Structure 1
């Protein structure tokens, strides 16, 4: 079935005549008539009948019209997608938080380069609030940060990473091999990471009754530093799972099982301006996590 024949049929239906359809499609009226005849021959039915200068749908035409519209719509979407692929920029700038730069982008970038081999990527790391500002000012093409809400920004959730309690495999809690209550935690020292994050604030409130703040002996603003301190058995630390997956796999950090702790997670989103089309690069990243 020829897509141009379907297009001619739809234009005749909505314009009400062969001549108006020919004018809209920059074709001669005989060309429109030939396309309609060809479509009717393919379907072995009559779709249109003439009433003076007007063209009216037959019963078969009425039944076929919604399918023709759907086919043409899908075809046009396919062309749009193809054109998007043809106009990939040769360079992009990604704004992201430090943890995303360290733990997510090394997983994402090989897929981007494989799909778009001519792409040059610049990564700029800031706190999440600064990334939002960079996106709003169009200083970066898009951002990957903790989930945010802003009226001028589209936000696509790509990762919901559980926040757990982690320790060195040599920590006494691990050797006990039993689930801990939050009261048990008051007997141990902590490394405190990222006190400005919403996930830490929630955990802090949950543990406030057991005075966990008194047991924090080291404050750090860098997740890698926090992990290294945990590995050296300097204390327990709450961290998002995606940031410690490699250590969990090789056994240099172990999760501490806890009872009576509400589920807490770090939500990571891609953000870009509402006024911009979603780029194929953003779509690829979204696909990787869906």
Structure 2
């Protein structure tokens, strides 16, 4: 059965005349008539009653209409799907920072795989500057990096990860309504150092203290900082995503401290302008949804 004949039939019904359908389909009116007649021969049924310039569906036409609409919709959806697949590479090369690699990609990749089952994924973990350079040189298709701006890059905020003070089970801060910076500074601190402006703001919180804070441990990895807190050797300011599971299991506890409200790590998705837009937009929506669902639980 010719899909063009079905298309002509549906358009004649939708627009109420052969002439209007011909105009929309960029055909002549005799061409539309010929397609309808061909369809009627295929079905061995009259589909229209014609009285002068007026047309109406026959009983057979009314029965066939929902099937014709469904066939046309299915055909159009298949064209969109095939076009969509042609715009995607066989392999997507994704660059991400350590925190994204640990806490976001294990959730987002399976969802992308469901949406694009034929695409293979290659993940690279590196600092933001290296990822940016690799995207610019087309060694990576997309990247997850700190908030940046570059004229040759498409960049959009994927999520913001609030930084909060976390303590271990049984710590005296649990249940306290308010804390001062001096109280926090008296306890052993674990400091995660990543060099971003957000962490410099945490450092500045202690500038007003008469005595320097009791920083006993400094590390450049979130996992190490988190495990030191779990080991009860100190407390730490940490991004919320990295402790989501431990908070659920009540192994770590967020402590409200007004001075850190509004301090967060922003992660952006980047790609070269004009490239991988389809995947970029879908991954961005997924990432935002996942981050929000995690934040709602913390």
**Corresponding residue for residue 285 of structure 1:** 283
Matches within 5 A, 1:242-261: 242-261=241-260
Answer yes or no: is the 8 Å Cα contact 1:157–1:267 preserved in 2: yes
**TM superposition score normalised by structure 1:** 0.70
Q: Distance in 1 between matches of 2:117 and 2:77?
A: 25
Matches within 5 A, 1:73-84: 83-84=83-84
Alpha-carbon distance, 1:159 to partner: 1.0
Matches within 5 A, 1:34-113: 83-113=83-113
Answer yes or no: is the 8 Å Cα contact 1:170–1:233 preserved in 2: no
Q: Does 1:129 align with 2:111?
A: no
Alpha-carbon distance, 1:144 to partner: 1.1
**Corresponding residue for residue 180 of structure 2:** 181
User: Would you say how many aligned residue pairs link Structure 1 and Structure 2?
Assistant: 237
Answer yes or no: is the 8 Å Cα contact 1:143–1:272 preserved in 2: yes
Q: Distance in 2 between matches of 1:211 and 1:149?
A: 38
**Corresponding residue for residue 275 of structure 1:** 274
SS at match of 2:144: strand
Alpha-carbon distance, 1:213 to partner: 5.4
1:186-235 deviation per Cα after TM superposition (whole angstroms, max 9, x unaligned): 21121111240221112222332126854211111111111100101121
Q: Distance in 1 between matches of 2:210 and 2:81?
A: 55
Q: Does 1:171 align with 2:171?
A: yes
Q: Distance in 2 between matches of 1:119 and 1:274?
A: 21
Answer yes or no: is the 8 Å Cα contact 2:169–2:250 preserved in 1: yes
Matches within 5 A, 1:230-249: 230-249=229-248
The change in CA–CA distance for 1:184 and 1:78 in structure 2 (over 3 A counts) is farther
Unaligned runs of 5+ in 1: 12-24, 36-40, 46-75
Answer yes or no: is the 8 Å Cα contact 2:165–2:238 preserved in 1: yes
The change in CA–CA distance for 1:268 and 1:130 in structure 2 (over 3 A counts) is same
Alpha-carbon distance, 1:242 to partner: 1.2
Answer yes or no: is the 8 Å Cα contact 2:22–2:29 preserved in 1: no
1:129-163 deviation per Cα after TM superposition (whole angstroms, max 9, x unaligned): 11111111111110012221111111121212211
Alpha-carbon distance, 1:178 to partner: 3.6
1:64-114 deviation per Cα after TM superposition (whole angstroms, max 9, x unaligned): xxxxxxxxxxxx999667512344322111100000000000110110122
Q: Distance in 1 between matches of 2:102 and 2:151?
A: 28
Unaligned runs of 5+ in 2: 1-9, 36-49, 55-75, 290-298
**Corresponding residue for residue 22 of structure 1:** none
**Corresponding residue for residue 149 of structure 2:** 149
**TM superposition score normalised by structure 2:** 0.69
Answer yes or no: is the 8 Å Cα contact 2:21–2:32 preserved in 1: no
Answer yes or no: is the 8 Å Cα contact 1:164–1:239 preserved in 2: yes
Alpha-carbon distance, 1:257 to partner: 1.8
Answer yes or no: is the 8 Å Cα contact 2:22–2:28 preserved in 1: no
The change in CA–CA distance for 1:78 and 1:201 in structure 2 (over 3 A counts) is farther
Alpha-carbon distance, 1:167 to partner: 1.3
